[in-house]
Amino acid sequence: MTAPLPFDPIEEAARHWSARWEAVDAMRAVTSLMRVQQLVLAELDELLRIHGLTFARYEALVLLTFSRKGSLPLGKMGERLQVHPTSVTSIVDRLERSGFVVRRPHPRDGRTVLAEITDTGRTVDEAATSDLVAARFALPGLEGSELDGLTDLLRPIRRRAGDFR
């Protein structure tokens, strides 16, 4: 990692931005949000690497763990994870190669494939979750009401995007 800059590059960009365009506050907010996303995702992926996971694969395992039978159709996984079908296929491919899930035919719909978590997948999910909880999901500087506030702040953006009603 390089040494910290002696100035905030986002504030410097905002200063330059304001000389040419409007919406400085929105540019500064979205740039900050994207930078934090990069930082958090990098730390989460680093924590999960020892388990043979990325955060995307971890989320898929958790989803299967939460399902009643430990399995879901790939299409339903894509809906719940809010990712493109191609991404679900790639995620399940990697989890299957690692022995964390298996693909099974749907018992009542021959066109549908289920991803089913294995015992190894459950064990890895438990260990990975313990590590993420201990690391406060890479948000160690924020506590209860701050985390709730952040979630509440982002909810209207997600609602407008159609994530939920």
Listed by start position, the domains of the chain span 8-49, 52-138
pLDDT of residue 2: 86
Question: Mean pLDDT across the stretch 32-51?
Answer: 96
DSSP conformation class of 69: T
SS3 39: helix
Question: Mean pLDDT across the stretch 84-100?
Answer: 97
Q: What are the distances in angstroms from CA 95 to CA 12, 49, 58, 89?
A: 42, 13, 9, 10
pLDDT of residue 109: 86
pLDDT 10s digits, 101-144: 999 999 888 889 999 999 999 999 999 999 999 999 999 889 99
Whether 1 has a pLDDT exceeding 80, the answer reads: no
35 Cβ neighbours under 8 A, 6+ residues apart: 10
Q: Which two tokens stand for residue 154?
A: 């982002």
pLDDT of residue 135: 96
Provide the CATH topology of domain 52-138: Arc Repressor Mutant, subunit A (1.10.10)
pLDDT 10s digits, 46-91: 999 999 999 999 999 999 999 999 999 999 999 999 999 999 999 9
pLDDT of residue 110: 81
Distance of CA 68 to the CA centre of its chain: 22
